Amino acid sequence: MDVKTLKPVFKYDGHELDVPDHLQGNIDGLRNYHAILYPAVATAELMEVGAQGDTFVYEYRRMVGTKGAA
């Protein structure tokens, strides 16, 4: 049996985001780190897109809705 480790890749709005070594595996820490450049990430939903080649892709997706609709 061959075991392969997939590198995590995080994306937001079409951009691949940096994953510093010290935050590997720390989802909350990564969200805070990514929210510095993209504030909407703080409230975005983190979706598992899945394996693509030798990476596993996660994507932040903004919540879409209407404000103040009555």
Output the average pLDDT for the chain.
Answer: 90
Please state, in angstroms and as integers, the Cα–Cα distance from residue 53 to each residue in 2, 37, 47, 50, 67, following that order. 15, 27, 18, 10, 39
pLDDT in tens, 17-49: 999 999 988 999 999 999 999 999 999 999 999
The answer to whether residue 68 is domain-embedded is no
Dist. CA 20–CA 52, nearest whole Å: 20
Domain membership of residue 67 (yes or no) is: no
Residue 55 lies in a domain: yes
Domain count, the chain: 1
Question: Is residue 36 classed as helix, strand or coil in its secondary structure?
Answer: helix
- Paired sense of beta strands 7-12 and 45-52, if any: unpaired
Domain that holds residue 56: 7-61
Q: Is the pTM of this model over 0.85?
A: no
Burial bucket for residue 56 (CB in 10 Å: 0-12, 13-18, 19+): middle
